[in-house]
Amino acid sequence: MTTYEGDQQFRQDSGWQNSSTDQGMRKVADRLTQAMARDELVQATVHNLRAKLQSDRVVLYYFYAQWEGQVTFEALGTHAMSIVGSKGPDQCFNGDYAALYEAGRVRAIPDIELEPIQECHRNFLRQLMVRANLVVPVINGQRLWGLLIAHHCRSARPWSLSDIDNLRQGAETLAKAPSILQS
């Protein structure tokens, strides 16, 4: 990088090197670093879980407002199955369901066609090509931060205790990460 003699004088005259600017830039850099660390952790977690579970898709559904959220990360068997950015059906997920997940509910559905679930939930899962669904909460302190979800799309699938434990451990890893604790 070429530096000109006038640059140093300009920085001094304009206050370019003042401490408030440096602090502001440091805050921006810290936020970017934190976001990148969170993204890397989440991406590694969902990819590892998909491999362990041998499922078609593992996603992280993040609540950005009270019981409103979207799929922010995913690991896929094939890119044609991508649902990143998808939002859940608001009429199906409400405060009652949120309270269950805040209390630690794990929901393992081996076959959405046979499970007694709300029709709006079944239709939503059908739209996503889901046949079996496993959901665990990501709890940040006392707050439901999101849901970690495994989808099996090819066929019905009974979820084992090992599958549930693996997904639960993944959710706990995410919940304890400093970058998620602070979000």
- Least confident interval from 6-15, 17-26, 92-101, 155-164: 6-15
pLDDT at res. 2: 45
- What pLDDT digit, counting tens, does each position of 141-164 carry? 888 999 999 999 999 999 999 999
For the chain, state the CA radius of gyration.
21
Q: Which two tokens stand for residue 24?
A: 């502001």
Question: Which residues have a Cβ under 8 Å from the Cβ of 35 and sit 6 or more positions away?
Answer: 179
Q: Give yes or no for residue 99 having a pLDDT over 70.
A: yes
- What pLDDT digit, counting tens, does each position of 124-135 carry? 999 999 999 999
- Least confident interval from 87-91, 108-112, 147-151, 161-165: 87-91
Break the chain into its structural domains and give their ranges: 20-181
- In three-state secondary structure terms, 152 is strand
Q: How much is the average pLDDT of 98-123?
A: 94
Q: From 3.40.309.10, 3.30.450.40, 3.40.50.360, 1.10.10.10, which CATH number describes the 20-181 domain? A: 3.30.450.40
Q: One-letter amino acid identity for 22?
A: D
Q: One-letter amino acid identity for 77?
A: G
- What pLDDT digit, counting tens, does each position of 59-76 carry? 999 988 888 889 989 999
- In three-state secondary structure terms, 154 is coil
